Amino acid sequence: MDAPTIAYLDNAATTRCDPRAAAEVSRFLLEEYGNPSSVHPLGVAAARALREARETLARCLEAEPGGVVFTSGGTEADDLAVLGFARTLRRHGRHLVVGATEHPAVLEAAKALGEEGFETSVVPADRAGRIDPAAVASACRPDTVVVAVMMANNELGTLAPVSEIARAVRTRAPRAAFHVDAVQAFGKAPVSLRATGADSIALSSHKIHGPKGVGALVLAPGRRPAPLLHGGGQEGNLRSGTENLPGIAGFARAAALAVESLAAEVPRWRRLRERLERGLAAALPDRLVNGDPERSVPTILSVTFPGVPGEALLHHLEARGVLVSTGAACHSRRGGSHVLLACGMAEEAVRSTIRFSFGRFTSEADVDRAVAAVPALVAELRALSR
Amino acid sequence: MEKGTTGRGLECLVVRYAEVGLKGGNRRYFEGRLQRNLKDALASVGPARMGRTWGRLLVFPEGDPAPAMARLREVFGVASVSPAVETRKDLLEIEPVALRLVGEALSRRPGEDRVPFRVEAHRADKSFPMRSVEVNRRLGATLLAAFPRLKVDLERPSLTLGVEVREACAYVYADRVEGPGGLPVGVSGRVLSLISGGIDSPVAAWLAMKRGCRVLFLTFHSHPFIGEATKEKVKDLVRRLSRFQGPSLLFVAPFAAIQTEIRKRSPEAYRTVLYRRAMHRIGCRIARRHRCLALLTGDSIGQVASQTLENLRCAEEAADLPVLRPLLAFDKRETIALAERIGTFPISIRPAQDCCTLFQPDNPVIRGEVEACRSVEAEIDLDRLVEESLASCEVFRLAEGKPDRHHSPATILPSPPRPDPENPASRAAAPSDRPGSLEVGA
Ligand SMILES: Cc1ncc(COP(=O)(O)O)c(C=O)c1O
């Protein structure tokens, strides 16, 4: 399918790279291809570019440049925080607290720590995907060493009150590192290390129109998780390996663009979401919108169409050039699947749920295509499935 | 065929075959097929020469023989494989090698204090001064003297020292690993496997290959109810199975229109049975066109509602070719164990919806009746729907580690003439067998 013929409404899965970020990637692959560790001019130029990328990220996140650790993506950033902090803080305790809707990068890392004698408490989310700071507080213990909560839920878009949670963690588990997975929030809502009071924040480039395979863990001053990779000591010895400068430069550019355009994009996305919501509501009064309308990123709309197999709807939409994703547990191949169940949604409803998600390149025309296609398909599939 | 005279230490693989030897007049044909299959299988691990001797094949890999040996153990028709050492044809040279190989073999079985043993010499070179029996006796005596744990047992040896004396040199071996047995793929003719993304059908296909069948594959794809991922999963299964028979053809027949029509016009309980009848119809059409002698399914009696004897009969009644079901008497766990062994299990359990689950009835009929099926089908323009599916059927030629080749439907199924029910045999005759060739029509 060619780019212009599809209405891509699956930006929470990944995004199209912004041409300006792609140009950076290309420049550092073809022209400024030096190794930042080399001492000749090409290497020195690469080191300078790396420093600038780090400063850009630090500005975007209101953090110190020294706290920015570039990784291979959101997964590695989450792993580095959860595993790394648990290992450096283990002498203070072996207890972790994680949200029920966390990405597998966090949940599986916590599970793996079971082998090392760690115990994990899972904080439930409500139907709208909300995590209650009081519930986090009551899960915390004096021997809790890592607390991880995602800022924006990737299925529902619901935003967690992270600074409130940070305060709760500080009082209940003063030694714990508080990690925030902001992969889905960054670029769609203000994300600030200083304002959240977190110890670390995970980011991923491909969710913000940057290249895939690069991300960052942004650390508060003085915080150092144990590294996962051992080698040449790059990234302040927290992430050895020759730096992926093309990816990092593309990521930095994409991050700067995302932050610059945020103020203008948020109202545009709100209008798109309203347009979609209203269009669907007019034709399908029995559709249910999931999530928390008060506090969520404006780029995600999760809708349940009772009695409609979500996967069949997805493929029928794909045949009309509209690309979305399902919340279904067993059939969408990976990721996201457990999230709606963890929010207490019934399996039946999960199977009938579709997620529409927007990005920089989503237009009104894309939304209108979805609005035009969905109602007839819902009626058809409902009749067939009855 | 062999190399010079004194490639001492150079290893070769002695390949024994199972039932090939039993097949009287067909023997040369079987051997030739096996030899070609071995050559094709070895192509992926590196160049090798081949020779025949005394009802076995000799394989001379140019590099490390270990990967070649592992690969040969997957080729149907191979009963066992032994790595052998090449020596000069001189007992003075054969003896020390025999001592070394038997010593190594014994060191791998430390617990056994009596190892039943025999020597088995074959002399293809009649100019060799000793007769086979004498070689057996001489080497036997030497080995028994050197290793007191050995005990001669001609009937049931657990350790056999083999010597093949040929024109240029001799081959000595003591080790033997089992192959899969069965018949070389291709000697039994072609079958068309109806494959889903599940666990059973790939195992059924592997078993048919084991009995010498070349398997072509057909899957049904209900886009847009089912996504591309399901098709990719079936392609991965076929790619994996091509390991056992070489490049394989997969036909992908669109099935959404048929399912929707059946969904609309049939009693709910009969849906699944009717899907399967339609699949058999399409399968028989493709099978005849591509000279397959039977359909092949992964059915096991009573495993699910559509697999009761009554429902199997309903499905089969729509086919005008035999339907082979090698898993009929398998329990699920037996099938899973085989699927794990042949490497299809991890692919089969990947989540992806398959078309049989579409509009699945809550209470499917258990004892379906052929008459009931027929009377529903009379209401549906099934012939047209089958033709439409055939006309837009896709075909892929798949092999492990190679890019797919996609054939447009037109090259495979040009405006289909009606199959000739009077004369099926004319098309399904000689099992000629160019892997992946796309013969069209008769
Ligand atoms: C909330 C969340 N965390 C982490 C990740 C993983 O990021 P990446 O794909 O860069 O490894 C994702 C993306 O799938 C995500 O949505």
ipTM: 0.77
Asked which of A272-276, B184-188, B363-367 is least confident by mean pLDDT, the reply is B363-367
- B51 phi and psi angles, rounded to 5 deg: -145, 165
Of A72, A207, A248, the one to substitute when testing ligand 1's pocket (max ligand atoms within 8 A of C-beta) is A207
Q: State the average pLDDT over residues A211-217.
A: 98
Is A312 within 8 Å of chain B by CB?
Answer: yes
Is B352 within 8 Å of chain A by CB?
Answer: yes
Q: Cβ distance B156 to B116 under 8 Å?
A: yes
Which residue owns the Cα nearest ligand 1 atom 4? A74
Task: Out of A316, A330, A384, name the one closest to residue B263 (CB).
Answer: A384
Is B358 within 8 Å of chain A by CB?
Answer: yes
Task: Out of A309, A331, A384, name the one closest to residue B351 (CB).
Answer: A331
pLDDT given for residue B426 in this prediction? 36
Percent of chain A clearing pLDDT 70 (strictly above) = 96
| Cα B255 from Cα B122, distance rounded (Å) | 58
Q: Cβ distance A141 to A173 under 8 Å?
A: yes
Which class for B250: exposed (0-12), middle (13-18), buried (19 or more C-beta within 10 A)? buried
Task: Out of A315, A330, A385, name the one closest to residue B227 (CB).
Answer: A315
Q: pLDDT band at residue B280, thresholds of 50, 70 and 90?
A: very high
Distance B348 CA to ligand 1 centre (A): 26
Q: pLDDT band at residue B433, thresholds of 50, 70 and 90?
A: very low
CATH 3.90.1150.10 intervals, chain A: 3-16+263-385
Total length of chain B: 442
Residue A218, by phi and psi: left (phi above 0), alpha (psi -120 to 50) or beta? beta
What secondary structure letter does DSSP report for B326? Answer: T
Asked which of A82-96, A144-158, B170-184 is least confident by mean pLDDT, the reply is B170-184
Amino acid at A82: V
Q: State the average pLDDT over residues B293-313.
A: 90
Q: State the average pLDDT over residues B88-106.
A: 90
Strands (E), B241-339: 248-254, 292-296, 323-324
Residue B425 clears pLDDT 80, i.e. is over it? no
| Cα B300 from Cα A105, distance rounded (Å) | 40
Ligand 1 in contact with A103 (CB < 6 A)?
Answer: yes
Asked which of B233-242, B262-271, B398-407 is least confident by mean pLDDT, the reply is B398-407
Ligand 1 in contact with A154 (CB < 6 A)?
Answer: yes
Residue B69 clears pLDDT 70, i.e. is over it? yes
Ligand 1 in contact with A73 (CB < 6 A)?
Answer: yes
Question: How far is A232 from chain B, CA to nearest CA, in Å?
Answer: 35
pLDDT given for residue B409 in this prediction? 57
Residue A300 clears pLDDT 80, i.e. is over it? yes
Q: pLDDT band at residue B62, thresholds of 50, 70 and 90?
A: confident
| Cα A241 from Cα A229, distance rounded (Å) | 8
Ligand 1 in contact with A75 (CB < 6 A)?
Answer: yes
CATH 3.40.640.10 intervals, chain A: 19-257
pLDDT given for residue B366 in this prediction? 86
Dihedral angle of Cα A85, A88, A93, A97, to the nearest 10 degrees: 0
- The Cα diameter of chain A in Å comes to 70
Q: Under DSSP, is residue B284 helix (H, G, I), strand (E, B) or coil?
A: helix
pLDDT given for residue A30 in this prediction? 97
Contact B359 A384 (CB under 8 A): yes
| Cα A33 from Cα B303, distance rounded (Å) | 60
pLDDT given for residue A337 in this prediction? 64
| Cα B65 from Cα B9, distance rounded (Å) | 12
Of A204, A248, A333, the one to substitute when testing ligand 1's pocket (max ligand atoms within 8 A of C-beta) is A204
Residue B421 clears pLDDT 60, i.e. is over it? no
Is B39 within 8 Å of chain A by CB?
Answer: no
Total length of chain A: 386
Residue B24 clears pLDDT 80, i.e. is over it? no
pLDDT given for residue B101 in this prediction? 92
- Nearest residue in B to A325, CA atom: B227
Per CB-CB distance under 8 Å, the chain B contacts of A311 are: 226-227, 353
Q: State the average pLDDT over residues A87-92.
A: 96
Is B49 within 8 Å of chain A by CB?
Answer: no
Q: What is the DSSP string of A15-59?
A: -PPPHHHHHHHHHHHHTS---TT--SHHHHHHHHHHHHHHHHHHH
Per CB-CB distance under 8 Å, the chain B contacts of A330 are: 351
Which residue owns the Cα nearest ligand 1 atom 5? A74
Asked which of A15-24, B156-165, B201-210 is least confident by mean pLDDT, the reply is B156-165
- B121 phi and psi angles, rounded to 5 deg: -105, 145
Contact A312 B224 (CB under 8 A): yes
CATH 3.40.50.620 intervals, chain B: 190-407
CATH class of domain segment(s) B190-407: alpha beta
Q: State the average pLDDT over residues B103-114.
A: 87
Per CB-CB distance under 8 Å, the chain B contacts of A319 are: 223-224
pLDDT given for residue A294 in this prediction? 85
Residue B31 clears pLDDT 90, i.e. is over it? no
Find the catalytic residue in A60, A140, A330, A343: A330
pLDDT given for residue B1 in this prediction? 38
Is A311 within 8 Å of chain B by CB?
Answer: yes
Per CB-CB distance under 8 Å, the chain B contacts of A314 are: 227
| Cα B45 from Cα B74, distance rounded (Å) | 13
- Nearest residue in A to B351, CA atom: A331
Q: pLDDT band at residue B8, thresholds of 50, 70 and 90?
A: very low
Per CB-CB distance under 8 Å, the chain B contacts of A331 are: 351-353
Is position A330 annotated as part of the catalytic site?
yes
Percent of chain B clearing pLDDT 70 (strictly above) = 88
Which alpha helices (H) appear in B18-164, and where do they start and end? Answer: 27-42, 65-72, 91-107, 132-146
pLDDT given for residue A333 in this prediction? 44
Is A318 within 8 Å of chain B by CB?
Answer: yes
pLDDT given for residue B97 in this prediction? 92
Residue B378 clears pLDDT 70, i.e. is over it? yes
Q: pLDDT band at residue B10, thresholds of 50, 70 and 90?
A: low
Residue B338 clears pLDDT 90, i.e. is over it? yes
Residue A383 clears pLDDT 70, i.e. is over it? yes
Is B45 within 8 Å of chain A by CB?
Answer: no
Q: State the average pLDDT over residues A179-194.
A: 97
Nearest atom (ligand 1) to Cα of A105: 4
| Cα A178 from Cα A168, distance rounded (Å) | 10
Contact B350 A333 (CB under 8 A): yes
Is A282 within 8 Å of chain B by CB?
Answer: no
B108 or B5, which is more confident: B108
Residue B418 clears pLDDT 50, i.e. is over it? no
Give the mutation candidate from B225, B255, B265, B350 for the A interface (greatest A CB count, under 10 A).
Answer: B225
- Nearest residue in B to A319, CA atom: B224
pLDDT given for residue B347 in this prediction? 94
Q: Give, in order, the Cα–Cα distances in Å from A215 to each of A15, A228, A251, A254, B228.
A: 14, 15, 7, 11, 29
Beta-bridge partners for B189: B213
CATH 3.30.2130.30 intervals, chain B: 11-178
pLDDT given for residue B327 in this prediction? 96
Distance A74 CA to ligand 1 centre (A): 5
Q: What is the pLDDT of residues A252-262, one digit of tens each?
A: 999 999 999 99
Ligand 1 in contact with A150 (CB < 6 A)?
Answer: yes
Q: pLDDT band at residue B259, thresholds of 50, 70 and 90?
A: very high
Q: pLDDT band at residue B23, thresholds of 50, 70 and 90?
A: low
Specify the CATH number of the domain A3-16+263-385. 3.90.1150.10
**What topology does CATH give the domain A19-257?**
Aspartate Aminotransferase; domain 2 (3.40.640)
B396 token code pair: 């892929």
Contact B224 A311 (CB under 8 A): no
Residue B9 clears pLDDT 80, i.e. is over it? no
pLDDT given for residue B414 in this prediction? 38
Specify the CATH number of the domain B11-178. 3.30.2130.30
Ligand 1 in contact with A105 (CB < 6 A)?
Answer: yes
